[in-house]
Structure 1
Amino acid sequence: MKSPFPSNRLSMTMRTQLRCTGLVLPWVAFSVQAQVFNIPAGNLDTVLNQFALQAGIEYSLDASLTQGQYSQGLQGDYQPEDAFSVLLADAGLSAQKQRDGSYLVDIGDQWALDAVQVGTRLDGGANRDEVGEANVYDKDSATEYRGKEELERFRGADAADIFKGMANVSSGDARNGGGIDPNIRGVQGPGRVPVIIDGTEQEITMDNGYRAASNRSFLDPNLIGGMTVHKGAQINPDVNTSVGGAVEITTLSASDIVLPGETFGMEFIAESSSNSIAPREPRLYTGQDISSIPEYADLANPAIDLLYTDPALVIDPRERQDDNPFNGEDVAYRLAIGGVGPKVDWLAAYAYRNRGNYFSGTKEASFYQQPFNGDESQGVENRRLFIQPEHLALVYHPGEEVPNTSSEMESFLGKFAFNINPATKVEFGARYTKSVHGEILADRAETRYMSGLAQWPLNHTELQAYNLRVRSNPANPYIDFKSNLWVTLSDIRSNTGPGSPNALTNGNTIIKNTSLMNSEEDRYGYSFSNKMLFGSDVDVTLSGNYQYHQLAPKGDLDSVIAKFDKGQVRAGERTEYNGSANVEWRASDSIIFNAGVRYGYYKSIDNYVKNRLAAGDRSSLSQYGVEGYRLSYQMNVPITDANRATYLAGVESRVRNADTSLNQEIADLRDGIPNLPPFLVPGFQAQLDAKVAQQDALVAQEIAAASGHTSYVEDIESEWHHNGEHNYSAADNGCIAAVNSPNYVEGSCKAEKLSSSSTSTYTNYESSDSGWMPSASITWLMTEDSRSYIRYAESLRFPSMFESTVGFSAVPATSSPLAPERSKLWELGYVYYFDHANVKLTYFDQVIEDVMDRNTSVTTTSFTNLDKMKTSGIELQLDYDDGDYFGDLSFAYNLENEVCDENAATQRFMADLKTDDTPNYQECRRGGFSTTSYLANKVPPEMSGSLHLGARFFNKKLIAGARTYYADGSHSEDYVKRDDVTTLDAYIGYAYNKHIQFELRGSNLTDIYYLEPGAVAGIPAPGRTISVKLTSRF
C-alpha cells in the first residue's frame, strides 16, 4: 500500500529526485512554499544540518537513529515536508511537524516496517516501494507495482500468484512447471514480455507438445523486494521492454533487513500452510525389457498404451482432511543478514520452500463437470490435443489431490554494493536457485484412467545469475551513467520431450524415458544508459542493450538425436542488440514532450539443422506441403428469359446423354448399323427409330416439366492453389464466395486435396533482421491534483530462439525466416490525486503486425506470420490510505482481442468443411484460428478486477484485510472455455514489537473449484489454504 502522505507531492518529489536531479521541474511550480536546495551527498547528520540551516527550520531526533547513515544529498526545488521525505527515505525515518513549527524525526509505525523498506542505494537512495507505487500514477505509461510487504502477504501457492490482483496481468500455465509466464493485456510468449531480475534475463521456453509453449522464469517470491509490471512497449533505459511490456523484479537489499539506525541486521521468516500432501513419485523402468515387467503383461498395444495410460504412473488421488496449517506438507523459511554503511552495503540470504501436491477446491464445480461428448481424443484414445476445461472436474475431482503440482525450491542470494565515492557506486549480485517441481506434458494432463491420475517424474531446474552494476552521477550535467553486465546459466531437466516416462520407440522392446529433456540454456548481456541535461528544460538519454543466448541439449547433440530416433532437437544460438535515444522537453509549466527512437538487430543460428545438413540427413528436415484443393459446390440459378433457352437445351442434353439403358441401346444401334449386312439394316433401323422416338418423348416430357421451373441447381468445380509460399487467397476460393450467396445449396461445398503434393527440405539454419522503433508522448499537468498523457510507441519482437529453431510440434515454416512482430500502441491516461487516494484511468489500443503463431494444421505445426493481432481496453487503478484504513482497486475491461489473417482464415474455413455444413469465413477471429494456435489460450477475460480493503489498529500494531478477485468466464467465441470465478483471500497480522511479527492468512477461503485464464494444461487451481507466518528481525 502507499504510505499515508497527505497529497500527491511525495510521488512528484520523488520522481523529480530520480529523473531530474539538479533541475526545477514544471510541476514544482505548483508548490507555493518551495525552496531551492543544493546539498551534496554525505553523512546523514551533516546533510540534515545543512538542510535545516538553508530551510530555516528546527528539528530534533535521537542521534542513534542516524548514526552511520549515508545520504545522497538534496538537489532541486522542495517544500520542507517533501525534502524530509526524500532525505529520510533510506533511513526508514519520517519527520512530523510539531505545533511550534519544528520537526520531530522518528521511526515510523511498527507494522509498517515492511512497507517502508528501501531498495539498494545503487538505485538512487529513494524508498523503493514508495517510488514504485508512486510511479503507477506519475509515469507517462501504464505500470503495476507490488512491494515486499504485499508480495509476502499474498504469496499464494505458486510463484505465478504474484500477479494476482493486477489489472490485465496474469501468468500463463500457472499450475504446471513451477515458473512464471507473464501475460499483459493478452500478450504473452517467448520474448513478448521479458522478465528482468536485477537486470538479468533467464526465461526458458518449454515446449508443451501439441498444446503450446510456456515461457518460464524461476524465482522464489521470498527473495523479491519489489516488482514493477510495465504494460506495453516503451523506450526505457532501465528496462528492455518488448511488444507486451516487461516485468522488472528487484530482489532483497540490505535495507530490507537492517533496522533503521542500525548498521547490521538479520531477518528470519518461517511459515507453514495447509492444503498440500507429499507427492508419490512414479516407477520408471528405463533400460529394462518390457517383457520382463509384470505390470505391463496385459497391455494390448504397449507402444500407444505407455504414451497415454501407463499403469506405472497412475496414482489414486487422496482427499483433503482438514485446514490445519501445521498438517500440510507446505513449509517455507528464509534467513537474510545484511549490513549498511557509508562505503559498503551487503546482503546474504537463503530461502527454502517445500510444498507437496495441493488439493483443488470443492465449490461451484458444475461448469467443469459437463459430460464428455466423444471427440475429446482426436483419433487416439486418451490423447488431448487441446485443452477442454468443461470436462475438467470429471478428471480432477473436486477436493482431491492434484498430481504434478508439488514444488521444492532452494535459493541463495548475495549482494555487495560499494560506494567508491559520493558519485560512483558499484554493485555485485549473485543468485542461485534449485527448483524441483511437478510437471506433465500438457496433452497428458487431462486423462483419468484405472480410476486414477498420472503422476509424472519431477522436473529439476538449476539456475545461476550474476550481475555487475555501475552507477556514476558526478556534478556534471552531461553524466548520469548506469551499466549492467550480467550472465544467467540454466541447467534444465524437464518433462517436455515428445514421448513419455516409460516408452517404446521404433519397434524396440527396451524402455526409454522419452519425456525427459536435458538441456543447458545460457544468456550473456550488457546494458548501459547515460542521461545528459541541457539546461533546465531538456534532457537526452542514450541507452543500449546486448544479449547472447545459447541453447543446447546436455551431452553430444548426435547422441541426443539418436535417443529420440532422429527426432528434432532444439539447439541454437542467438544474438540481439538495440540502441535508443530519447529526448524530454519541458516546454512549459504544464506541458512535457517526450520523443525517442530505438534500433534493433538480431541473428540466430539453428545448430540442429546445421548438424543434419553436415551429416547428410536431409530426410529429418523434410516438410510436406499440399499443392492445393479440388472444390465442388452447387448453386441455385434463377431462370430468366435470357438463360431459359440455354437451360432447356441443357435439360435436353442431360436427358440424351444420361447413363440409361435406353441411351445405351440407341448408341449401340447407331454404332452397329453401319457394320450390318444390307438385308438386316431395315429391321435394326426400325428399332433405332423407335428408340429415338421414345427418347424424344422423354425429352419433350422433361422440357415440358422444366418449362415451369424458376431455378435450377448447377454443379460447379474448381481448383484452389497456393501462391508458391503456401499462402492461400480467399478470393480464389469459390466455396468462400458461394456460401455467402443466397443461391448457395447448403452443405454442398466439398474439398479434396489435390493428388499432387510437394516435399521440401528445410535448410534455413541462419536468419537475421533489423528495424527502427519510434515513440512519442505528451503530458499535460492539468492542475496540482490532476494530469493526463497520450503516448504512441512501436516495438519490434524478433523471432525467439524457440521460433528460430526446429523442434517437436513446432518448426519454422518453409518460407522462413519469419518476419519480426511490430507492435503499434496508443495509450491515453488520466490521473487524479486526492488527499489520501490516487486514481488512474487508462485506455489502450494496440496492433501487433506480423504476429507469430503456429498454423492451424496439426499435421504440419509450423510457425508462421499472421497479418495482425488487435487488442484494446480500459483499465482502472485506485488506491487509498489514510494511515488507519487502506485499500486498492484494479479493474480491466477488454474491448477487443482479435487475430486477423486471410490465409489462416481460409485454412480454418477448409477445416470447418469437414465438420460443418455451413462453414463461416471470418478474416478476424477472437484468439486466433484454431484450438492448436498458440494464441488461443492467451486471451484474457473480458472483465476482471480485484478489491483489497484493510485497516490498522492499536497504534498500528494490528493489521487486517481482505482481497477479492473476479474474472469473467470465457467469451462465447473463445476456444478455451472457463467459468467466471470470484475468490476471497484474507489476513490478520500482529507486531508484538519491532522485532517479532505474526501473521495468519487464508487464500481461496470459499474453496472455489476453477481454472485460471491462460492455462495450457488443464490443472485446477488450489482450494482453500490456511497459512501461519512468523517474522523475526534483529
Structure 2
Amino acid sequence: MSSLLLRRPRVPGSRLARPLAALLLCGTALAMLPVPTPAMAQAESPASYRFDMPSQPLANAISRVGTISGWRIAYSVALPAGAVSAPLAGTMTPEEALARLTAGSGLVVRASGPRSLVLEPRPADGAVRLEDGSELLETISVNSTASPVDLPFETAGSSSHISQEQIERLPPQSAGDIFIGTPGVISSMNRNGAAMDVNIRGLQGQNRVKVTVDGTVQASSTWRGYQGVDDRVYVDPDLIGGVDISKGPDSGAEGAGVIGGVVGIRTLNVGDIVEEGKEYGVRIRASDADNGIAPPPRFTTERRAGGPGLEDFENWSGSIAAGVRQENFDIVAAFAKRNSGNYFSGTNGETQYTLLNSQGRPVTGDLSPYLPGTEVFNTSENMGSGLIKATLRPAEDHSLELGYMRYDNDYGEVSPSVVRPNSTSTRQIGLSSTIVDTYTARYHWVPADNALIDFRANIWATHIDEVTWYAFPGVILPEWGIYPHETQRPSTTTTYGGEVSNVSRFETRLGAAKVDYGASYSWEDADGSLYYGDAGSLLQQSLTGTRGVGGIYANAELIATEWLTLNGGLRYDFYSTHDGSDPELIPDNWDVEFKDKSGGRLSPTASVIVSPWEGLQFYALYAEGMRPPSLRESAYSESFLFPNPDLEPEIARNWELGLNVLRSDLLVGGDKLRMKVSYFNNNYEDYISRVDHTEQTIAYYTTRNIDKAVFSGVEVSGGYDAGFIFTEFSLNYYTNVEFCDLGEPCVNDGLNGDYGMNHIPPELTATLTLGLRAFEDRLVLGARLNHVGARAVPLSASNLSFTAPWVPYTVFDLFGSYKVSPNLMLNASVENVGDLYYIDALANTAMPSPGRTVRLGLTGTF
C-alpha cells in the first residue's frame, strides 16, 4: 500500500474542449465516439463494470474493485478488525460496488477526482478546512492500481500489454508467437531455434531492446554468419503470467542503455494460480497437436512428407503449477515440459520471390529449398523449465520475494548460410542446447502512513550456458565418409544486476504530484570458449569480455487540473566495456588495438496529457536515450568482425503524438472500448552499422557510426468488449525508413552488408481478433487474422547473401474453449487454417513457417 494527501475538489469549471488541434489525423478514430461538450462531459454517468467476487477480507475486496475498474480507491481510517465482505456479483459502478461492500461498516464513499474514490467515516471526520475552501484529509492508504490491460490506454507514449488470456487462446508454436497482434513488435528468427529476439519499431539486437524476465536480463549474443548476430532470450510460454512493453527510450529503472524499448516478461505469481479468497491452488495443463515428427539422425537429407496426427504424440506440452497464500507468505512453484518435433510447411501460397537487381531488372527465385508440405529440418524442441517463488511478509508494509527459475532445452537450429534462397539441399544438423539459471530477490516497502515512501530494491543474476552448431554447406557422401563441416560453439554469459527506486506522492498548490527516482546497474560477463571453425582448421574464440551499464533517473508527474497532466524526467546513463579476448588468437596483420571504453550521457524526457473529458486523452511525448556499443560491436570474437573500440554510443531523439480512449457503457451496460492511436518519429544519431572492411582479407567487416537512422509511422491498437462479444485490433504502418551515412544523402535503403537490413520490419502489419462468449461465458469461440506486408525498404537481389526475403502473407487462426465445470477447461485451436506456405517476416533464414496445426488442450484448476 502507499499513501497520499487528498483534497476535496472545488466545483469543476469549464474544461478544455479542443486541445492539440495538430492531432486532426486522429479524427477518424474519434468518429467512433460520442462527442460531448464540456457541459455534457460533466453530466456523464460513471462507467459500470462486471463484478463477480466471493466473500473475502474487506481490504482485499476493496482492492479488487480498484483492479477491475482501474479506479483509484483510498481510505482514511482503519477498516473494522476482521471485516469480511459479502459476495458481490453484477454490473455496477465502482461507487455502487464499494457501497455494497462497506454497508454497515460506518464508512461512506465519496468521489475525490476523475476515476478516484475515497472511503471515509460518516460526517464529523475531523477534516481540516483550508483557506481556499477545500478540506485536507488525514493521510490515507491507496489500495488499488490500474488494470494492466487498461494501463497502456492511460499512458503518454506507446506501450502494450499481453495478458495470460491472450497467450492461452492460441498457444504459441514458437516462443515469439506471443507478440503476434502487438503493433510495432516482432520476434525475429522466430522459426529458427527456441529463443526470442525482439524487434521494436525497426530496432533490434546489440542491446537496443531490453527483454527482462522478472526483471532479469539474459545478455546472450550469438553470431549467425553473414546474417549478423542475434540477442537471445529464453522462457517457456506456459510459465508467463503477462508481458508489458514500452517502446522507445525508457525513463524508469529498466531503461539504462536502452533506446528501442523494454519488454518485461512476468512469470507466474501466486495470484495466477490461487483464486481470490482461497489459500491453496493447483493448475494442471496438457496439450497435444499434430504437425510434428521426431527429428531424424544428423546429416539426414531426405525430407518426409505428410505429417503425423494428434494420436502420434510428437508435438505435446504440459505443465503443473501450485500456489499457497497465507497471511505472512506466498509460495508458487511450477514445472513445464515441451516436446515438439520437426514441423511441416504449408501447401498453399507463393513459393518464389521477385526482387530487383543492380540494373533495376526483376529477378525471380525460390524462397526456400523446402517444398510445400514437407518436413522442415531443425525445428524440434525438447524443453523442461521450472520456477519457484516465495514472498515473505515479515512485518506490515514489508515484502521480500525470492525466486529461482531454470530453463533447459535441446532444440533444432540451422546456420542461415545452410538454408538460403535458391539453394536445393538441406539436412538435419546436431541439436543446440541452452541452460539458463535465474536468481531474483525483490524487496518492497510501502508504509500505509507515509505517502513519500514506496521503496523497491532488487538484485538478480542470470547464468547462460549455450552450445550452438554452426554448419557449412557441402556434399554428403556417406559411402566415402564425406560430410560437410559442422562445429559446436560453446559460450557462457553471466549477468548481474540490481535496482533501487522510490515513488513519493504529495500535494502541492499546483496539484497532486508524484516523483519516481532511483538507480540501476548491470554487469555482463561473457566467457567465450575456444573451438575450431572454418572446416576445423582455424582456432577461434566465442565472445569474451565485460560490459557494465548503469543509470540514475528522476521523473516527476503533476496533475495540474482534472484535464491536464505534465510529466518530465532526466536520466544519466553510463557504461564501460572491456575486450577480454586472447590476443594470441588474432592474426598478425589485423593490427587490433585493445583498450577499454567508457562514457555517459544525460537524457531528458517530457510529456503532456490533455483530457477534455473522461475516457479521452491527447498526449505529446519527447524522449532521448543512449545505447552504448555492445560487446559484439567493440570486442574481438569469432564473427570475422574487425573490432572497433572507438565506437560512439547511439543517441535516440524520439517524439510522438497520440490519443488514448478508455470508455465504458457505450453501446450496452458494462461494455468497454480501449484504443490508442499514435504517430511516432524516431531518430537514432550515430547509428552503428556493419560495413565492408576492405583492408583485411579475413575480417571482412567492421563497425562504425553513421550519421543516423530514421523510423516513423502510425500505430493503432485497442479492442471492444461487451461481454458476449469482443474484438481486438492492431495496425502498424511505416511512413518513412531511411539511413543516412556520413557525408551522403539519406536513402530509403539499408547499407551494403549492414546488420540493419535484417531488422527492417514490414511496411504494414495488421491483426484482427473477433470472439464471442456464451452460456454464462463458459463457451468462447473466436478467430484471428494476421496480415504482414512487404519489407518497409525493398530488398535488392544483391543482398540475398545477408538477408532472407519474404512475400506478404495473411494467416487465419481459430480458437475456442469450453468450461466443462468450475475446475475443468477444454481448449482447441487451428493455427494457419488455410495451410499457407510462407516465411515469417524478419526470418534470418529461408525456413518456411508451420502449416496447418490442430491443437487440443485441457486445463484443470483445484
Please report the TM-score for the alignment, with normalisation by the length of structure 2. 0.80
**How far did 1:28 drift?**
12
| Counterpart residue number, 1:591 | 564
Residue 952 of structure 1 pairs with residue 773 of structure 2: yes
The alpha carbon displacement at 1:69 in A equals 8.4
Q: Deviations over 1:818-875 (max 9, x none)?
A: 1000001101121223322122111100100111121045863111111100010011
Tell me how far 1:82 sits from its aligned partner.
Answer: 7.1
Cα 1:97–1:822, aligned 2, differ >3 Å: closer, same or farther? closer
Aligned equivalents of 1:483, 1:264: Cα separation in 2: 28
Query: Which residue number in structure 1 is paired with residue 814 of structure 2?
Result: 986
Which whole-Å CA distance do the structure 2 matches of 1:829 and 1:27 have between them? 30
Are 1:30 and 1:784, in contact at CA under 8 Å, matched by a contact in 2?
A: no
Does 2:731 correspond to 1:891? yes
Between the aligned partners of 2:430 and 2:12, the Cα distance in structure 1 is: 63
Q: CA deviation at 1:155?
A: 2.2
Determine the C-alpha separation between the residues in 2 that align with 1:373 and 1:188.
27
Alpha-carbon separation, structure 2, partners of 1:320 and 1:161 = 24
Match of 2:517 among 542, 558, 578: 542
Partner residue of 2:554 out of 558, 576, 581: 581
- Residue 257 of structure 1 aligns with an amino acid whose one-letter code is I
Q: Which position in structure 1 is the counterpart of 2:331?
A: 346
Report deviation, 1:538: 2.3
Partner Cα distance (1:892, 1:473) in 2: 39
Shift of 1:785: 2.6
2:178 pairs, out of 153, 162, 169, with 162
What's the counterpart of residue 858 of structure 2? Answer: 1030
Q: Distance in 2 between matches of 1:361 and 1:148?
A: 28
Q: Does 1:203 align with 2:219?
A: yes
Which of 351, 361, 381 pairs up with 2:346?
Answer: 361
Q: Is the 8 A contact 1:812 1:818 kept in 2?
A: no
Which structure would you say has the larger Rg?
Answer: 1
Check if 1:172 corresponds to 2:188: yes
Q: Check whether the contact 1:206–1:496 (CA below 8 A) recurs between aligned residues.
A: no
Q: Which amino acid aligns with 2:711?
A: T
Match of 2:718 among 866, 869, 878: 878
SS in 2 for 1:150: helix
Within the candidate set 414, 422, 444, 1:471 is matched to 444
Whole-angstrom CA distance in 1 between matches of 2:10 and 2:809: 43
**How has the CA–CA distance of structure 1 residues 183 and 559 changed in structure 2, closer, same or farther, with 3 Å as cutoff?**
closer
Match of 2:90 in 1: 96
Q: Calculate the aligned-residue CA RMSD, in Å.
A: 3.8
1-structure distance, mates of 2:230, 2:11 = 46
Residues 817 and 563 (structure 1 numbering): CA distance in 2 closer, same or farther, change over 3 Å? farther
Q: Residues 75 and 278 (structure 1 numbering): CA distance in 2 closer, same or farther, change over 3 Å?
A: closer
Q: Which residue of 2 aligns with 1:243?
A: 259
Q: What are the superposed Cα offsets for residues 206-263 of structure 1, whole Å, 9 maximum, x if unpaired? A: 1001111111100000000000111111302365571110100100011111133220
User: Aligned residue for 1:799?
Assistant: 629
Work out the CA distance in 2 between the residues paired with 1:400 and 1:891.
32
State whether structure 2 residue 764 is matched by structure 1 residue 934: no
- Asked whether 1:337 is paired with 2:322, we answer yes
Cα distance in 1 for residues equivalent to 2:11 and 2:843: 47
Counterpart in 1 of 2:680? 844
| Pairwise CA distance, 1:943 | 1.1
The gaps in structure 1 that reach 5 residues or longer are 1-16, 33-60, 107-123, 283-312, 376-387, 504-508, 624-760, 906-922
Q: Per-residue deviation at 1:373?
A: 10
Aligned twin of 2:122: none
Name 1:317's counterpart in structure 2: 303
2:528 to 553, 562, 570: 553
**AA matched with 1:518:** P
Q: Distance in 2 between matches of 1:883 and 1:1030?
A: 23
**Aligned counterpart, 1:1001:** 829
Q: 1:417 aligns with which of 382, 387, 391?
A: 391
**Paired amino acid for 1:550:** D
One-letter amino acid matched to 2:704:
T
1:526 aligns with 2:520: no
1:900 lines up with 2:736 in the alignment: no
Partner of 2:312: 327
1:517 counterpart (489, 508, 513): 489
The reply on whether 1:607 has 2:580 as its aligned counterpart is yes
Distance 1:864 1:893 in 2: 29
Assess if the C-alpha contact under 8 Å between 2:551 and 2:574 holds in 1.
Answer: yes
Counterpart residue identity of residue 154, structure 2: D
Residue segments in structure 2 that go unaligned for 5+ positions in a row: 16-50, 103-141, 665-671, 797-802
Offset at residue 535 of structure 1 (A): 2.3
Identity of paired residues, percent?
A: 28
2:420 alignment partner, one of 425, 446, 450: 446
- What is the SS of the residue equivalent to 1:137? helix
* 3-state SS of paired residue (1:803): helix
SS at match of 2:147: helix
Cα separation, 1, equivalents of 2:65 and 2:776? 35
Give the CA deviation at 1:371. Answer: 12
Render the CA deviation track for 1:273-326: whole Å, top value 9, x for unaligned: 1111111131xxxxxxxxxxxxxxxxxxxxxxxxxxxxxx2421111246x433
Distance 2:492 2:233 in 1: 14
Structure 2 residue aligned with 1:826, among 634, 642, 655? 655
Q: Deviations over 1:515-555 (max 9, x none)?
A: 2111110000001111123425222221111111111124x
1:767-778 superposed matches below 5 A: 767-778=597-608
Cα distance between partner residues in 1 of 2:545 and 2:690: 20
Amino acid corresponding to residue 349 of structure 2 in structure 1: E
Bigger fraction of residues in strand: 2
Name the aligned partner's letter for residue 318 of structure 1.
R
Scaled by the length of structure 1, the TM-score of the pair is 0.67
Structure 1 equivalent of residue 27 of structure 2? none
Q: In structure 2, do the counterparts of structure 1 residues 596 and 528 end up closer, same or farther at CA, with 3 Å as the change threshold?
A: same
Contact 1:70–1:342 under 8 Å retained in 2: no
Residue 791 of structure 2 corresponds to: 970
More divergent stretch after superposition (962-971 vs 1021-1030): 962-971
Whole-Å separation in 1 of the counterparts to 2:541 and 2:398: 50
How big is each residue's C-alpha offset from its partner over 1:375-402, in whole Å with a ceiling of 9 and x where there is no partner? 9xxxxxxxxxxxx995224x11011110
Q: Does 1:259 align with 2:259?
A: no
